[in-house]
Amino acid sequence: MTAISLKNLDISYGPTKVVEAASFDVAEGESFALVGESGSGKSTILKAIAGLAPDWTGEITVLGQPRGHSVDHGFASRCQMVFQDPYGSLHPRKSVDRVLSEPLKIHGISNRDARVEDMLAAVGLDRRFRFRYPHQLSGGQRQRVAIARALMLEPKVMLLDEPTSALDVSVQAEILNLLKKLRREQGLTYLMVTHNLPVVSFMCDRMAVMHKGRIVEIAPASALHDGRFQDPYTQSLYAASGGNPDRKD
Amino acid sequence: MSQSPLLELENLRVSFPTPKGRVEVVKGLSFTLGRERLGIVGESGSGKSMTGRAILRLVRRPGQQDADKMTFDGIDLRRLSERRMRDLRGARISMIMQDPKFSLNPVMTIGEQIAEALRTHERLARRDVQARVLQMLEAVRINDPKRVMALYPHEVSGGMGQRIMIAMMLIPRPDLLIADEPTSALDVSVQAQVLDLIDELVRDKGMGLILISHDLNLVARYCDRILVMHAGQVVESCAASELHNATHPYTRGLLAAVPRMEETREELPVLDRSAWSGT
């Protein structure tokens, strides 16, 4: 079954059209990347799927069910989003415990105490962090909390918007390892936005390259090994990222 | 060109007071810099940006800086009055900050801002100022500089904003340029352009460059020599070409944690922070 399917998706902010005719399918259990420079519309696609950019036309289907334009309670338990900046995405006056139990409360799920405890362990946070506030955590710990929050309702599809670009390389490695482990253990599907091509090589199976609101190419991540891309824009993006210095030929 | 080093630092210390006493964020840093390109790398909180600021004596109170020796081209920076220091900043040592959005004045046109940077340090006729600004904007490869001069910072893109910052910093023809994460707010495709430009201008004018960044590979590409900082200290110093033979466990850990273009590892190695905390 396809986890995410987009057909002819146009997204606008007011009179400006930012994404035009985007179509792709992500299989269940796959990890798919959207790459491109700022302003290319990659984050906007995630927002439209999550319901944060309601001005779209076309078709969005998640796990076989079409997505409507309004707020969808059931959708939240199937698909969740992790945002770029862990410094901005957590409520400064809510403790980790409150952030994690809120989705459970809204969806009327019981046994909250144990679920919060289990989730903290799953994302590699010690129990003593449970009653802390975001300002008492480091960037990497905050991003772990943000990932934990997204996973509380046990969704099958995760939308990741540059989950590591605000973090140091050593912390980035920890978070990428965590995301990979969670995907393996819980059979998640990832749709990930990034501008960092080596991260795509580590995390993803396929990638769509966006330029000025259009998808110019869909390629397997293995194309990053030798730079075999069709589109001239993708080739220039690959060259600007430094190509593959490990390759000897 | 003089053979004496451009900048000499010995035992630089920067500290901040906390309820638990003074905390040193730079602990005894020493290096000498000729007319070359030096890279300083480290993670957030390693003291790399503070080092850059301390060279310009820009550590704000209550922070304190202190050094056994801090000379720039034979001038003792520690003893200079605040007024003389101000003459030096911009004119002889200048600094490119991280994000053009926050470093440019939003209510002044780009032309005025660049002209101001020049007029502060040199007395020139208005026509000459205009000519120098135009010439500088061309040097940072801005198409149609006449039009851009009349724009305000919010009307230009990030990459263009950073090029304007570079123009502003280079127009008084400094001897030393400190670039603190000059491209981390920019896209990969623009990053390379901006760094190539800095590189070219630094080589042409024979300036010294200190490039501060958290990106090891980027620094290795654009510098001659690299200092790796961790917790306020230099843990390793090597030629940029020798970076991949680095020996310190922290440097090795950082290098290994970066994903590669052709990634075959199932899991990325993570820094074991306890391994060298004693050093």
A9/A232 Cα distance (integer angstroms): 24
| pLDDT digits 0-9 by tens, B97-126 | 877 778 899 999 999 999 998 988 888 898
Residue A139 has pLDDT above 50, yes or no: yes
The two three-digit tokens of residue A126, written as one number: 């010690």
Please give the angle made by the CA atoms of B111, B113 and B116, to the nearest 5 degrees.
110
CA distances from A174 to A139, A179, B205 (A): 12, 9, 42
- So what's the pLDDT on residue A244? 78
Count the neighbouring beta carbons within 10 Å of the beta carbon of residue B25: 22
Tell me the helix, strand and coil percentages in chain B, rounded to 5: 40, 25, 40
Pairing of strands B69-72, B75-76: antiparallel
- Reference B194, options B175, B213, B176; nearest CA is B213
Is the residue at A86 inside a domain?
yes
| pLDDT digits 0-9 by tens, A143-177 | 999 999 999 999 999 999 988 887 888 888 989 99
Residue B51 has pLDDT above 60, yes or no: yes
ipTM attached to this prediction: 0.77
Is the residue at A96 inside a domain?
no
Is the residue at A57 inside a domain?
yes
- Nearest-CB residue to B44 (from A168, A224, A241): A168
Is the residue at A103 inside a domain?
no
The two three-digit tokens of residue A198, written as one number: 């080596």
Count the neighbouring beta carbons within 10 Å of the beta carbon of residue B91: 17
B56/B90 Cα distance (integer angstroms): 9
Domain CATH number, residue A24:
3.40.50.300
A75-102 mean pLDDT = 90
What range defines the domain where residue A34 resides?
A: 2-90+155-240
Is the residue at A131 inside a domain?
no
- In A, minimum Cα distance to B267 occurs at A177
Which residues on A lie below 8 Å from B258 (Cβ)?
A: 169, 173, 198
> Is B1-92+209-279 a CATH 3.40.50.300 domain?
yes
In this prediction, residue B1 has a pLDDT band, given cuts at 50, 70 and 90, of very low
A184 phi and psi, to 5 degrees?
A: -65, -45
Is the residue at A202 inside a domain?
yes
CB pairs under 8 A between A and B: 89
A141 phi and psi, to 5 degrees?
A: -65, -40
pTM above 0.90, yes or no: no
Residue A185 has pLDDT above 80, yes or no: yes
Number of domains in chain A: 1
State the smallest CA–CA distance between residue A130 and chain B in angstroms: 23
Asked if the Cβ–Cβ distance from A224 to B261 is below 8 Å, we say: yes
Is the residue at A6 inside a domain?
yes
Which residue matches tokens 């698909």? A79
Residue B2 has pLDDT above 60, yes or no: no
> Which residues make beta-bridge pairs with B65?
B14
- So what's the pLDDT on residue A138? 84
Asked if the Cβ–Cβ distance from A201 to B261 is below 8 Å, we say: yes
